[in-house]
């Protein structure tokens, strides 16, 4: 999945352009590792940015929520949307305050989302959302009933206009600052899952499954 992608004028990285990445493999790796996306849209001249869970299936992103959700109801009116996902991986401490930075990977997807009307696709989309967060959980959980499906709106956004941006590595100081006597380097940051905590009402003979005990956010 190393398909080359030509960015649009809207998605081409301008600031620190050397950090721009435009292949699907990189973008999908970031999307598959993230949990939360931020959905930006404008309603009556007022911009909103809403955090929400998401899932990816092929070349589409899926977001879902209550059918009464203001965000989803407006997206269902062919409103232009901007979806961003960011993975923070380190604090970069330079000798100069001006040159402090962060190591990160991010993706921006622009487009127009459409509501998923087909019942089979809607259920598959909800499964992809569940499996994106916790692979293996869908098959062991009660499936959504008709009432729950009716109360849920699922939106599909094609991953067509997108770009990634990546910053990795040590600090970059001005040459004259390398002699400044202060520590410089990177403080790595990562999400580390802890051991599962049983629901107080869980039966005494029900053990946490392997996917909970060995949980990881590594790419699929």
Contacts of 201 (CB under 8 A, 6+ apart): none
User: Angle at CA 36, nearest 5°, toward 218 and 57?
Assistant: 65
Q: Which helix (H) or strand (E) holds 131?
A: helix 119-133
Q: pLDDT tens for residues 12-44?
A: 887 878 887 889 999 999 999 998 999 999 888
Question: Rounded distance, CA 184 to CA 94, Å?
Answer: 5
Q: Which H or E run includes 88?
A: strand 80-93
The domains located in the chain, with CATH, are: 17-171+203-213 (2.30.110.10)
134 neighbors 214 (Cβ within 8 angstroms): no
CA distance 12 to 23: 12
pLDDT tens digits, one per residue of 55-102: 999 999 999 988 778 777 777 777 899 999 999 999 999 999 999 999
117-126 confidence digits (pLDDT tens): 899 999 999 9
Is the model's pLDDT at 218 over the cut of 80? Answer: no
């Amino acid at each position: 999945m190393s398909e080359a992608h030509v960015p649009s004028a809207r998605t081409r990285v301008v600031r620190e352009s050397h950090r721009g990445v435009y292949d699907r493999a990189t973008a999908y790796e970031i999307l598959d590792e993230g949990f939360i996306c931020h959905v930006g849209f404008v309603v009556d001249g007022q911009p909103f940015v809403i955090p929400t869970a998401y899932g990816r299936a092929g070349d589409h992103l899926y977001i879902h929520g209550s059918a009464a959700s203001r965000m989803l109801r407006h997206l269902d009116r062919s409103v232009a949307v901007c979806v961003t996902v960011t993975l923070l991986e380190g604090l970069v401490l330079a000798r100069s305050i001006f040159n402090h930075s962060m190591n990160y990977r991010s993706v921006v997807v622009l487009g127009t989302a459409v509501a998923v009307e087909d019942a089979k696709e809607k259920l598959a989309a909800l499964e992809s959302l569940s499996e994106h967060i916790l692979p293996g959980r869908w098959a062991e959980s009660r499936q959504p009933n008709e009432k729950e499906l009716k109360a849920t709106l699922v939106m599909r956004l094609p991953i067509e206009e997108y770009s990634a941006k990546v910053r990795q590595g040590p600090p970059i100081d001005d040459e004259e600052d390398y002699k400044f006597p202060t520590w410089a380097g990177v403080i790595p940051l990562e999400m580390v899952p802890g051991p599962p905590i049983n629901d107080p009402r869980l039966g005494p003979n029900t053990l946490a499954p392997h996917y909970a005990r060995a949980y990881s956010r590594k790419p699929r």
